Amino acid sequence: MHDKLDKEINAFPTAKLSVEHVCKDFRTRNGTVRALDDVSLTINEGEFVCFVGPSGCGKSTLLNIIAGLEKPDSGLALIDGVPITGPGRDRMVMFQEHALFPWLDVIGNVMFGLKQKPNLTDKERLEVAKYYLFLVKMDRFAHSNIHELSGGMRQRVALARSLAPNPKILLMDEPFSALDAMTRERLYGDIQDVWEKRRKTIIFVTHNVREAVCLGSRVILFSPHPGRIREQFPVSLTRPRNINDHDLADLSMQITSALKGYTAAESD
């Protein structure tokens, strides 16, 4: 069953994302703070891109602009040449908190987003939900209650729910930050496996440089006050990657050194 559905879903949509000269200000009691300053980048179809930088560097703000949850003060974000003007079905966001519905069981949570796809029958929605639970290794817990799951299991369900509607772009805002180290390492393997199978365009926000190098095909480095893209690092390490690998640690140290340099320069 899963092999057949895998072939059917394999014709998944992907998108090219462009950000052009985006600026964003926030008004506070002490005046205006520029969160993003003249940010431009292009993310190609099927890329796994990680945004890395210190708190206050604007990486989550940029993610929210791409999601359509925030609007830039100037500049544009576009998907396949079409400006983003608000939230859309072509983008799904996975936050730090799993945000699962406690009154629904596991499969009910995954099926919930599929109600917005009118071209699917109830039977097809059930099959798609089962497929993505299988993909994230949660099919055995399809009828479990949310409160019965560990933190890592809940994030797996949240990932399945985000993937099930088959968005063009998956946006992930520090989804593993509240988990313990061993659970995170297991999820690093899971998300790499999912990306290899689906080749979904993913944008992943993190403070953790090693996490970014472990997951991403490209790491984009932000500096704070105001947030600017300072440098980009392609990651060509063989997958699946282990966060404790020597080569991964070496590249992480290189990126961390660059990050410290930009942060120190901004503080002067």
Q: Is 66 within 8 Å of 202 (Cβ atoms)? A: no
Per-residue tokens: 217: 């095909």
Encoding tokens for residue 35?
Answer: 């969160």
Question: For residue 5, what pLDDT is reported?
Answer: 52
Per-residue pLDDT of 5-43, as tens digits, reads: 555 555 555 668 999 999 999 988 888 889 999 999 999
Q: Where in the chain is the domain with CATH 3.40.50.300?
A: 14-90+170-267
Per the model's pLDDT, the better-predicted residue between 209 and 225 turns out to be: 209
The CATH code that applies to domain 14-90+170-267 is 3.40.50.300
Residue whose C-alpha is closest to residue 17's, from 68, 83, 94: 83
Sheet of 48-52, strand order: 91-94, 169-173, 201-206, 48-52, 218-223, 228-234
Determine the Cα angle at 122 with ends 119 and 123, to 5°: 105
CA distance 245 to 265: 30
Q: What is the bridge-based pairing of β-strands 82-83 and 31-43?
A: unpaired
Cα dihedral 184, 190, 194, 197 sign: positive
Decide: 25 and 32 in contact? Cβ < 8 Å: yes
- Lowest average pLDDT, out of 103-107, 136-140, 258-262, goes to 258-262
CA neighbor of 237 nearest in space, from 254, 256, 259, 213: 213
